[in-house]
Every structure is written in C-alpha cells, then in structure tokens.
Amino acid sequence: MSDIKPADINILRAKGEESLYPDRPKIGISMASCGLAAGAGKILETIEGELKNLDLDWIVTKTGCPGFCQKEPLLYYHAPGKEKIYFGELTEKKAKDLVKELSENTVDRDFATWKIMSDVTIDDKTLFISEETEIEDIPLYQEYDFFKKQHKIALRNCGFIDPQSIEEYIAKGGYAAFQKALKMKPDEVIDFIKKSGLRGRGGGGFPTGLKWELCSKEDSDIKYIICNADEGDPGAYMDRSILEGDPHSIIEGMLIGAYGIGSNEGYIYVRAEYPLAIELLDIAVQQARENGFLGANILNSGFSFDINLAYGAGAFVCGEETALIASIEGRPVEPRIRPPFPSQSGLWEKPTNINNVETWANVPPIILKGHDWYSSLGTETSKGTKVFSLVGKINNTGLVEVPMGITLREIIYDVGGGIIDNKKFKAIQTGGPSGGCLPESHIDLPVDYESLKEAGSIMGSGGMIVVDEDTCIVDLAKFFIDFTRDESCGKCVSCRDGLDACHEILNKITEGKSALEDLDYLEELGQSIVDFSMCGLGTTAPNPVLTTLRYFKDEYIAHIEKKECSAKVCKALITYEIIKDNCVGCQACARLCPENAIKGQKDKVHKINQELCIKCGVCFDTCRYDAILIRSGDK
C-alpha cells in the first residue's frame, strides 16, 4: 500500500541529486552488456584497487551505456564544480594510470574523448554547470562528431545514471511525467500521446496513441499492458541498452500508459538472453514498489498498477505480439491471425496493449515536455527520434538516437564516421533480418517509416548494418534468410518451407550451381512468401532477398554467369593463387596451410594445389609480401 506524498518524492530527488553529483570526485563506469563484453568488469576492479592504493575517497558508480560502444570500456570522471570528462577504449593499465593522473591532475588529454559542461533534466532543472574547463582541447559532448546530430530522448539517461538507483532516475526528472499524467484525465493522456505523433518503435510503426485508445475503449474489467522487450534482431540492442541503462523510464512509461488505458497489471516480456537486463529490471520494479510507484492506490490517486516480469526462451518470433502473448500464457509460441487484435482480445483473452521498450521510454518526456515539442521533431508522418544500432563496416559503431528524417548519409558519414579503412560503401541493411538492403543510390533517403517502406525496406526496431565492398551481397541475403529460416515458428508453409527453399536457391547461387532463371523464380517465391505468410516474420523475411535482387541484381548475375563473387567471399567461386613476382619463398604459408596444399622450396616461388585447397584463407592472412591473390571469375 502506497502512501507516498509528493514531498517524499522531493526527498528522493534530493537524495538522487546528491548521489549523481556528490561533493567528492566520482567515477562512473559504463557497465552495460557492451561495456562488460569489452572488459569493464576488470576496469572496475582495477580502479577500485587503485583508489584503495592511493587512499582516495572517490565514489565509483556503475552506469549504463552512453551509446558509443566503439569506445568501450568507457568511464567518466567528475569532480565537484568541474566538467564531466569521458575516457574511452580503456585497458587495465590505462585505467590504473588514469586514476593516478586524475588525482595528480596530470591527465593526458589524448586519453579523454569528450566532456560535458552541464546537466539539465527533462523537467528543466539544472543539476550542474561548469563555467570553467580543466582540459581545453577535448571536444564538447554536443560538438563531438558521434553525438552532434543525435537527440537523446529514449536514451536520455543511459550512461548518465546508475540504473540501480531510483533516486538518480527521479533526480533526472523521473516520475515527474507520471505525476503530471495523474493530474490529467485518462483520455487526456491518450489524446496527448496521439497528438505527439509517437509511433510504435518495435517495427510496425502503428500510432501509439491510437493503439492505447483502441484498448481503452474495450469494455472489460481487466486489461493488460505489456512491454515487449524480446529484442531478437541480430546486431541490434537498442532495447537492451535502455533496459540496462534506464529501467525506470520503462516502468514510468508503462505507468502512464496503464493510467490512460485503465489497466492494473502489466508485464515486461524480456528475453532470457539478457540476464543483466533482467537483474536490473527486477531491482527497478522492486524499488518502484518499495517507493510506492507500483502497487495499490499509487500516490493516493486511487490508481493501482503492478508489473510482472516474464522471460522469453529465445525465440525470435516471440517479438510478434500474438506469439508473445502465447509465450506468457505458457502455450507453444505461434503467432495467430489478427483480428482479433490484442487490444480486443489479448493476454488471457483480455484487452491488451503491447508496446516495445523504446516506445515506452519515449512516453515520459512527451508528457513532461509536451506533444508540441515532440511532434516538432522528425518528419510529417514520423515524429520524434529513433534509436538505431549502427554496426558493421563503419568507424563509429554504437547506439545512435537521431531525429526522424535524417538521411542515411548523415547517419553513416556524420554520426558513423564513414566506412572503415575508407573503403567503398556498398549497402545498408535497415530493420534487421526482416528489413531491406539499400544501395548507395539511396544514401540520401530520409529515414522515416514511409520512405524506408517505399524503398523496399522497413524501419523495424532499428538495426542498421553497414556493409562495404568486401561483403558479398548474395552471402548477406543468405545470412538473413538463414536467420529467419531458423527462427520461423514453422506454422505457415510459406515461411517454414518457403524460406528453406530460398536458402537452397541462394546456396546454389553462392556455389555457382545456379542458372539465371533461378533469379526470377527466387523473386516470385519471395513475393509469394510475403503474400502468403500470416505474421510479421514471414511477410517481411524475404525483404533482404527482394531488395538485393532489386538493387544488386548484377552481383547475382555475376555469381551465376561469370561464377564471380566480387567481394571474394563465396568459397566455391574463389581460388587462392600465388603472385610469382611477389613470392619470396619464405614458406610461412606452406607451414600453416592445414591441408598441406602449398608446396615450394625455400626461396623459390610456391604453388597452391587447387585440389587440396579448402579456401580457408590462412595463406592470405599470413603472407607478408602480398603474394597471395584471391581470384574470382575475371577478377
């Protein structure tokens, strides 16, 4: 039972501010999954050890991921009254030295990546401002290339606060939106979200306010709301970052949604492969309950709401809302036909509203800062910002939150810093495995729901995979088809056997055993899978094939007619040869060849026995004289 008063919230807020900006120097280490994978655990140990060594009474805290995953392990240092300085790409040694240097004020500026001079919350409260700067030459956060074009709304707190502290969340303006919403009527809340133009960030792009309204109009005592945290796209981790960096923002978003819709029970469906997210969510829900934000009669408003966690067991298709519901209910996961929509008959046949993590995280700022503010961002039909996970052959990989309508070029070159080694940009796969592969001719395409759809791709949940000239487009399409083939629930013939058939044809193409008419057949088959499948997985799964056939047909034809893989990826179509003029006869390759396919006497030109060669590429990687040539077709 909650009897928390706004005054109590102020106490929490003060505690949070104290914890965010204490009167002692503070080190915040980014400890989300990406940071941990890069070794943040060791960095934390090192730093704590070094602080003890030097007998420094600093505060060390764990934060989520600030988004620039390329720079992990990452930490910030903040001394009272000074700017907040971020240090990236740490090693244990660097971290050890850093503590010492910081304490002695002799920091090597090359070390530092960017700095933050002030912190203003979403409800416009200035938490700190630093007039002076210690280190002049480090770029400001808002001027730093990676962040310059970003506008963080959903990711507003990620990397800045301790995800295990409800006080820090409140200090950053958390739960203020919920309090504001409680003063509104439920239908006003829904109207507010409708006016903001927020659309579902999970893939479909259905207007969120309208979705809430449909559910709220259903006549039922019990209604459920669900947060879909079953993020399964390969290479995409927007939701994980929010779950690990700012779990309370989801709880607050769900509270507002529940209040608007009239629901008293919610579920967060999170995949079991996100153990850290589950741990942090569990803590956050517990804290919200303890502090009276979840439970009965919240803030004496008469409104009651609680959240349960449900764990997915790793099926990609559970991201589809009807399959997700089946999973929570404990049934085998198979999507079912809509209508009836979950808003009519969802979890346990009660009206249910499902939004994904990013959508929920967007809700509090909209309520707090106004729908006009939100709808001023983005394009005519796609409002606000979108988080993308920018990965692949790009210099700056990480999570980027950019306003809708930004072009692919800006994302790739301005935010992403261009292609690694200045290679040639070839394509960008948007929308995860169900999305499409767009070529260079589309690089100035504004990123919004409609433009992407028109180009044959989708917004999806926000995966963006950049590929360069070294990537074979047929192989790429095959990779995604293999993924969706493995993840198909197997109910519809079209998806289950259709994708398997696509896989077979693509395999034939990459093995050089295909004929030109296969391409027409592949295209027809892809279209039929789109038309004949029931759920979102099947109807979008052929997109990678269909878009690559549309934009990169020449490459397919080259595979078939010339048996040529220009990216030199498809093993059946390449041969490794030795360039006589370059070979010095060092025998390095011959020693390492696992099949003993390379023969040659010392100081004499070597030769590769093509019959034995398994095309593992060891010789190519070993040769220091550029004497190994990969040949495919005429190239």
Q: List residues near another protein by CB under 8 A.
A: 315, 317, 332-333, 337, 339, 485-494, 496-501, 504, 524-525, 527-529, 531-534
Kindly tell me which of 73 and 432 has the beta carbon lying closer to another protein: 432
Burial label for 611, CB within 10 Å (0-12, 13-18, 19+), is exposed
Kindly tell me which of 233 and 410 has the beta carbon lying closer to another protein: 233
- Least distance (Å) between residue 204 CB and another protein: 14
Instruction: Find, among 387, 335, 363, 320, the residue nearest to 208 by Cα.
Output: 363
Do the beta carbons of residue 95 and residue 50 sit within 8 Å? yes
Question: Which structure tokens are listed for 365?
Answer: 């700022």
Kindly tell me which of 527 and 610 has the beta carbon lying closer to another protein: 527
Do the beta carbons of residue 415 and residue 396 sit within 8 Å? yes
**Number of other CB atoms surrounding residue 295 within 10 Å:** 16
Q: 408: part of which helix (H) or strand (E)?
A: helix 408-409
- Least distance (Å) between residue 555 CB and another protein: 23
Kindly tell me which of 80 and 314 has the beta carbon lying closer to another protein: 314
Kindly tell me which of 61 and 488 has the beta carbon lying closer to another protein: 488
- Report the C-alpha gap between 405 and 386 in whole angstroms: 10
- Report the C-alpha gap between 262 and 178 in whole angstroms: 14
- Least distance (Å) between residue 523 CB and another protein: 11
Question: Which structure tokens are listed for 393?
Answer: 């052959």
Q: What is the DSSP string of 421-488?
A: GG--EEEEEESGGGSEEEEGGGTT-B-SHHHHHHTT---TT-EEEEEETTS-HHHHHHHHHHHHHHH-
Kindly tell me which of 145 and 500 has the beta carbon lying closer to another protein: 500
What is the phi/psi pair of residue 156, to 5°? -55, -35
Kindly tell me which of 357 and 530 has the beta carbon lying closer to another protein: 530
- Least distance (Å) between residue 337 CB and another protein: 4
- Least distance (Å) between residue 345 CB and another protein: 13
Instruction: Find, among 126, 111, 120, the residue nearest to 77 by Cα.
Output: 111
Kindly tell me which of 134 and 482 has the beta carbon lying closer to another protein: 482
Do the beta carbons of residue 306 and residue 294 sit within 8 Å? yes
- Report the C-alpha gap between 474 and 553 in whole angstroms: 10
- Least distance (Å) between residue 272 CB and another protein: 16
- Least distance (Å) between residue 286 CB and another protein: 34
Kindly tell me which of 504 and 621 has the beta carbon lying closer to another protein: 504
- Least distance (Å) between residue 332 CB and another protein: 6
- Least distance (Å) between residue 298 CB and another protein: 39
Q: What is the DSSP string of 162-179?
A: -TT-HHHHHHTTTTHHHH
